[in-house]
Structure formats: C-alpha cells, structure tokens
Chains A and B, each alone.
Chain A
Amino acid sequence: MNAAIDHVMQRQDTWLGRASRAARQGMPTGYHKLDSELHGNGWPLGNTIELLSDGNGLGAMGLFLPAMEQLSQQGRWQVFIAPPYIPYAPLLEARGIDSQQVLLVHPQNRQDLLWSIEQALRSSTCSAVFAWLGNTTFSYSELRKLQLAAAGTDVLSVLFRPRQAGHNHAPAPLRLEMKEYRRLNILKQRGGNQYVDVNLGTEDDIPGQPQLWELPAYAPVQHAQTPAFSA
C-alpha cells in the first residue's frame, strides 16, 4: 500500500470503519471491569486520556498504579507535570514502581506547562506522562496539540482536569470522570461505549500488597484509644 496512506492508517485518531478495529490493543488497566468496558481492553497508549476529577483522594491515581507498575519495567521516565503533592516514594517502591523513574516537573506558567507536556510526550524517554492542567481553561487547539504529540507514541498520557471541563469538547479519545470514590463514568470513548458507569470492586486488589483503594470494611471506630475531639 501507499506509504502515506499506511501512515494515516497507523494513526490512532483515524476512523477505520468497523472491520479493523479489534486490532488495536490497549494496555491492561489492572481492573477487569474497566478493561471490559474499554475499547481495546485497556488504556489506549499513544492517546491522551482525560480524567476529570474534583479534588484528590477519590482514587484517580490509584486507577493508574497497576499501569505504572507494568510500565516501570521499561526503565523510562514516568513524568508528573504540575502534580498537586509529592508522590510518596516508599509506597511506590512497595508497589514495585522504581521511584528513580519518577520525575516531578513544576512549570511556572501556563505556557511552560504546555511546553513541558509536549516535550515529555514527544520524547521517546517517557513511559507515562501525568499532567495536572488545573483550573485554567485550555482551548481545543491547545489540547489537540497535546493529542497530536501523543499520537504515534507508546506513552500512557493522562491529563487531569476539573469536572467542569467535561462540559466542553476535548480532542482526547478517552474521557473519564471520577464521580465518587472508586466510581468512574466513561464520558467519551472513541469506538467504544459511552456514558457507562464503572464500579471498581476490590476483587482486583492484589493480596499482601499495600492497598490504596479499599481499606478494611468500614466499621465506625469507637475504640477506647480514639481520642476525644475536645478543643
């Protein structure tokens, strides 16, 4: 076939009709329920994934820990751009993620933020790029530039954005919304189901490993040692 056409066909954002869809395999997320809902049965590498979430602590990062664990074997950088806090190295080590691969980037302004994301995506030295875009609004073309930078690579690229960004269009082929703790809603998925709620159960948690997700069944602790909240 013509090389130019081949090139276009290779791109993740080219619509191919129904026939050749199954060919694209995603990277297993580590959660069976989510895998079964995702087109390609896993994270679409070489695409931007938007994760819409308000506030930390709903488990947005936990979603990617199994992936980080797998990618850690590649020995490339896992870049955190404008992260809200510091990833806790002992936890990463306990999960089998090499904390030496984690790079924290703190750009000073919006322009540098976009530049750093693009650089990280375009360079072949990263296996994962997590970027926190914050509350600023980004135009479609700016996000499209990131999507183009990710296209054709094998990088797991995740953009964390606030939930209100879900009202606007975005070029990312996969957009997920973190509704509640451990409950995802697939807002948009190219070639797959949309508006599906996914409840991530505990059955995929690895026994014996430090769990982030689910703490033991919640029983309101009323131990003797619980201190009184006296001022």
Chain B
Amino acid sequence: MSLWLCLRFEKLPLQALTRRDKGLITATAILQQQRVLQACDTAASLGIKPGMRVATVRALDESMRLLERDPSLEQQCLKQLCCWAYSISPSLHIYRDNCLLLEIGGCLTLFKGLESLLIQVHSDLSSRGYSYLTGLAETPKAAWLLSHTTDDHQRPLNERLQPLPLRLLDMFPRQLDSLARAGLWQFSDILNLSTQALGRRCGKDMIHFIQQALGTAHDPQPDYSPPPQFRDDYWFGYEVKANQELLPAIQRLLQALCQFLRNTQLQCQQIQWQLYGIQSNLHSLTVASSLAHSNWRQWYQLSQLHIEQLTLDMGVEGISLQCLNLSAGNNHTGDLFNAAEQSEPLHSLLDRLQNRLGLQSVKKIAGRNEHLPEFAGYSSCDNDGNNTVDNNIDKHDDSHAQPSISGAYRPFWLMPEPQQVNQSARGLYWGGGLNIMEGPERIEDNWWLEPVSRDYYVALGQRGQKYWVYRDRLQNRWFIQGIFA
C-alpha cells in the first residue's frame, strides 16, 4: 500500500531568507507587494500580522527588518531539500511552491517503521533550519490536504477528510465561491453529494482533484531526478575565526555529499570549498584525489590538510561545497576473507602527501625502452600515468622487450642531470680521485636530433664507492651520471 508523506514548509518564504542567521534573534518580516506576507515569532509577538502595510509595521517597530520575498531562493531551497529527501525515498516531487511529497510506503521497512522515519526527518530538517508540517495519506493530494490538520492516519481517508474546510482548495476560487453561496463549507458537505450534482456546480477540474485526493482517479507525477551536480552550503550563524571550528561543518557537508553520491551511484575526483565572509567570498579551496571515490572520511582527511594550512584573516560566515564533475560509480568489491584487501586503499596515502606537499613534491618513477639512461629511467609527478597515451605505448613496448640491462652495469641512483667531473693531469676528480675500473660501454643515440655518443665506465672512488661516469666523445668531457648504491 502506498503511503504519502507531505512535508509542507509553511514558513519557507521566511526561512529561506533567515535560516542563515539561526540563533540570532532579529525581528523580521517578509514583504510581498508592500504588504507583510510572513513574520517571524519575534515580530509576531510585537503585533505584526500578515497583510499589514509597510507603514503600519514601521509605526509598530522602527527597527523591524523587512525583507522582500525571494521566490527563486525558495525554489533553490526546495531543490536542496529534494536532494536530501532523495535519500529517504526515490519517488518524490515538489508540490505547489512549498511542499515536498514523498512516497514512503515502500521504504518503511528500511527505516524500521514510520515512527523512526519521522524522527529521522525531524532531526535532519531541524538541523537544516526548517520548520514544517506533515500530512500522511494514501494519495499525494490527500497528504497535502491533511498536512493542514493533525489527526490519526489510521482512520479511513474519507472520514479524515470530512472535517477539513473547503477553503484549502484555493486554486479553485470561483468554484469555492459558488459552493459557499450554496452553504457548503466543509469537505463533509460535498463528499456525500453525488458526482454529477457536484460537477454541475464546480466543474471538471475540481471534481478531478477531489477524485485524485480520494484515490479514485489516477494521479501520475513525474518523479524528481537528482541533478548532475552537487552543491550544498552551511551557514554558521556567527563568525568563525578558528580553522578548527570549520571542521564540523565540513564533516556535515561531506556526509551530505557522499550520501548524495551513494544515492546516485556516482563518484567524484575533485571537490571545491568556498568560504564566505560577511561581504564576499573569502577563499576557495580545491581538493583533489587521484581516484574517484565516494568515501567521506577520505575527503575529510584531505580537506583537513588544506584547512590546517589556511590562514583566516576574516571571520567565516558560511561554507559551501561544490562538486561539478561526477563520474559513474566504479565500486570495488572487497574480499571478505582477505584482511589486506580491506585496509586503506593505496591512493589515499598519495592523496594525503599531494594535498599537503603539493603535486610537484610527490613523484613516481618509470622505465622506458630507451638507450640514453636519462630517458630510460625518469621520475614524473603524473599521478595517473596509466591513462596517458605515452605510457600506454611504453607498456606496449615493454611487453616486447624489457629494458634489457643484463650483462651491463646499471647504478641504483641516477642523477637528474649529469654532473661534470673535473679532469686534470692526474686523473678524474669528483669529491675525491676516481679510478676507472670497468668499461667502456658505448652508448650512442639520438642522432636525428642532437647526436650523443658516450663511453660509460664504472669508476672507483677513494672510499670504495662506485660511480657511473661517462666521457662525452663529442665534447671530450667527463660526466658523472649515477651511483652504484
């Protein structure tokens, strides 16, 4: 049996604008067409009522904060709420301009009953700074109608709708007017009438609505589909001056992100933080990971590294998290019985090092099938090397021929740049005299660009160290390029 939950955010015009300054009590009234639309509790206690003129409000309280209603912001809030509600039930839609309708009949088992589902909803929404009213019914329209009253949802729907006033159907003003003239004020008055009799008075549309509410007519609704990007924010409501105080908000946003990623079966490789000050955008941080994943703890660790290094010269009012490039999830199935498989993924260390030390500070080494030693072995900070075309070719080559060094001496350490060795009448000198003990091995290459011709030798240092030196045959100079460790 389907069960619909209506979450009606009655105070959305007010809360969309004021939920940022929670804790801060400023009397606020929302205006629409120069009249008060909604007033906060503080303002209401001062006697501000909906429908008042601006002048009246000013007369009552000079310092009243008057804000113009912002419908686009309300829609944005509703979209964020949809994003949140998607983790409760996948079939949901926005109704009118301040309601979410969720089909929860299918997920009661998941939440272990209605009671705990409602508790979850309550704690999530109140931490987001929204107040709301709920309605539960078998059809979405009835759930919306019943959000205007509180009653026991176990009773039959027809019976529960009876006491509701007809003026709730404010989308049919003309019909309500004619019904009122006939002395019909409540649902109980019209539910007992025959459809034909009622239809003559109030037309097809309203009949259809009532039939949908009662579940006797179809009520198809396009389900919400989550956006291709993630964006969420958190407002502190006070000025944050210490970096550490940002962390709880970061954790919450990341959890929301990863919940979203899990719901949508997506992963991301890069996230962006924006810190907002009173007037402007203070900082933006980009946190990257070498592998796409949806694990909030890893994102949290990496973000923490950035936050620790940040110096805040102004207080932070809010923080937002953005994730623009999402990729399809590529979930890894761990091995249940192999403990090593379940430990930390390899890339997490790489990410931590890169995020603190910088991309340039962490490198990998690789070999290529080349003659010149400086090309045969090199280091690069390309952290996802396997994807580059260049490396694919190398891999391909390698399968044919490993860089063959058997029979030849190759050092452990290679200098990034060969260093010149001093030569005098007594011989070679590099931190001590060098004696040639092995060689030469001629390496010639690169004739199509800049010809290189070298004779490589193993040289013995004063204390028994072995160096890899070469004589550049074209320049007739000696260089040291490697050290046998």
Contacts and interface: CB of A to CB of B under 8 A. Distances in A.
22 contacts: A83-B413, A85-B414, A85-B416, A86-B377, A86-B414, A87-B412, A88-B411, A88-B482, A91-B405, A104-B363, A105-B353, A107-B357, A107-B361, A112-B357, A120-B349, A123-B344, A123-B349, A124-B343, A208-B406, A221-B437, A227-B471, A229-B428
* Interface residue range, chain A: 35 or more
Given A212-B412, A215-B466, A225-B440, A89 B365 contact: yes
Nearest to A102: B365
Contacts, number: 197
A137 interface: no
A114 interface: no
A231 B483 CA distance: 24
Interface in B413-469: 413-416, 423-428, 431, 435-440, 455, 458, 460-461, 463-467
A124 B345 CA distance: 9
Interface in A73-126: 74, 76-77, 79, 83-94, 99-100, 102-108, 112, 115-116, 119-120, 123-126
Contacts of A93: 367, 402-403
A87 B423 contact: no
Contacts of B378: 86, 89
A216 B409 CA distance: 11
Contact of B367 (A61, A85, A99): A99
* Interface residue range, chain B: 35 or more
B13 to A, nearest CB: 49
Given A100-B364, A227-B471, A229-B427, A87 B408 contact: no
A59 B471 CA distance: 24
Given A90-B410, A105-B361, A180-B464, A231 B425 contact: yes
Contacts of B471: 227
A202 B435 CA distance: 22
Contacts of B467: 57
Contacts of B172: none
Interface string A161-186: 00000000000000000001110000
Given A89-B365, A210-B410, 11 more contacts: A56-B485, A58-B465, A60-B485, A87-B365, A89-B378, A90-B410, A119-B349, A124-B344, A181-B466, A221-B439, A229-B428
A226 interface: yes
A220 B437 CA distance: 6
A218 B376 contact: no
A125 B464 contact: no
Interface in B347-364: 348-350, 352-353, 356-358, 360-364
A206 B432 CA distance: 31
Contacts of A201: none
Given A84-B413, A181-B464, A116 B357 contact: yes
Contacts of A58: 463-465
User: Which of the listed residues B412, B413, B467 has the most CB atoms from chain A within 10 Å of its own CB?
Assistant: B412
Contacts of A108: 357-358, 361
B50 interface: no
Contact of A229 (B346, B357, B425): B425
Given A55-B463, A123-B348, A86 B403 contact: no
A192 interface: no
A104 B348 contact: no
Given A86-B378, A123-B344, A221-B437, A212 B352 contact: no
Nearest to B362: A105
A125 B403 CA distance: 28
B335 to A, nearest CB: 13
